[in-house]
Amino acid sequence: MNFLNLKWKLYSNIGTSSIIYKAQDRFDFYIKKVYRKNIPDIYFEMESKALEILKGKPHFTKNCFIDKQNKTIYMDYLGKTLSKTNCPRNWKEQINEILDILQDINLYISDIQRNNICILGNKINIIDFGIVCFNSFNKEQIKSCLTFVFENQLYD
Ligand SMILES: Nc1ncnc2c1ncn2[C@@H]1O[C@H](COP(=O)(O)OP(=O)(O)O)[C@@H](O)[C@H]1O
Ligand SMILES: [Mg+2]
């Protein structure tokens, strides 16, 4: 996948840490996340390292290309933000799959919130790994955060 040749269009400029662009290549969509200059390097470095481990696993991006010099991460488009209308019926099952993957690689993700959960088709995808802890997986904590987000969006 040659991300650099794609025609990038602004997708979201409201995040505090990054500017997001989207591009299309035939039937596939991609995202480019450019970290803002003022954001400490550690966030970009943590996300890069986490994605190297996570990429290709179910519920995470398949493709990932890191441009260190420009603090930019290229990845797959993973869907629209979780909402009442797109929440998959089997979200509990999918959360368990996600927990198994995180347990396998012993990764703790700290920034669990609706904006960091994407839905594509009926699949839950997790994004945004600027705040993670390596070798610190905690099943009960992550499970309660994910469950809270999913139960809450059902009623808002
Ligand atoms: N791979 C992706 N697929 C779909 N939407 C994305 C993707 N990456 C980012 N976004 C969108 O851009 C927003 C900001 O991206 P995010 O990685 O959460 O950056 P920030 O660290 O600024 O919160 C997300 O809330 C989501 O709406
Ligand atoms: Mg985010």
Q: Which CATH number is 84's domain given? A: 1.10.510.10
Which-ligand-closest: CA of 127? 1
Identify the burial level of 30 via C-beta atoms within 10 angstroms of its C-beta, where 0-12 means exposed, 13-18 middle and 19 or more buried.
buried
Range of the domain at 141: 3-155
Cα distances (Å, whole numbers) of residue 106 to 5, 72, 128: 35, 25, 17
**CA neighbours closer than 13 Å in the CB half-sphere of residue 89:** 0
Into how many domains does the chain fold? 1
The predicted-structure confidence for 37-67, as pLDDT tens digits, reads as follows 999 999 999 999 999 999 999 999 999 999 9
Q: What is the pTM of this model?
A: 0.96
Pocket flag, ligand 1, residue 153 (CB < 6 Å): no
Pocket flag, ligand 1, residue 109 (CB < 6 Å): no
103 CA to centre of ligand 1 in angstroms = 23
16 CA to centre of ligand 2 in angstroms = 9
